[in-house]
Amino acid sequence: QVQLVESGGGLVQPGGSLRLSCAASGSIFSIYAMGWYRQAPGQQRELVATISSGGRRNYADSVKGRFVISRDNAKNTVYLQMNSRNPEDTAVYYCNADVTTQDRRLTPERSWGQGTQVTVSS
């Protein structure tokens, strides 16, 4: 089993910075792409950013230039640095990862965290 746990959310003010973390644990053999998604009430879950195993990054247009995704492969952790937050960034943020396990090293599985709430309010 592989588990992803997000942390770092909360009630924050706009304009500052906040870093979300997501750590993967379990019988991990390798982690390929990792990413962040978010979902606001009444909205579909949307892509925020992804990062490949080699560090190549993709961002949604709505966050490009404001958020930065990064990863620490030694810690099996992906981060989302949120700079200059806006009220529309309020959502539950979920991390995901494409992971192979010790038992299935050639078959990546998409794993999801349970989410962390980010509320942006002045």
The tokens for 20 are 């979300």
pLDDT at 14: 78
User: Token digits for 32?
Assistant: 């390929």
pLDDT per position as a tens digit, 82-105: 998 899 999 999 999 999 999 999
Class of residue 114 by CB neighbours under 10 A (exposed 0-12, middle 13-18, buried 19+): exposed
At 122, the pLDDT band (50, 70, 90 cuts) reads confident
Confidence of residue 10 (pLDDT cuts 50, 70, 90): confident
Alpha carbon distance 103, 101 (integer Å): 5
Statement: residue 13 has pLDDT above 90: no
Q: How far apart are CA 29 and CA 19, in angstroms?
A: 26
Please tell me which residue, 49 or 16, carries the higher pLDDT value.
Answer: 49
The pLDDT tens digits of the residues spanning 44-66 come to 999 999 999 999 999 999 999 99
Residues facing residue 96 across a β-bridge? 35, 112
**What are the distances in angstroms from CA 38 to CA 43, 103, 116?**
9, 30, 9
| Mean of all residue pLDDT scores within the chain | 94
Q: Give percent of the chain above pLDDT 90.
A: 86
- C-beta of residue 52 within 8 angstroms of C-beta of residue 33: yes
Residue 32 has pLDDT above 80, yes or no: yes
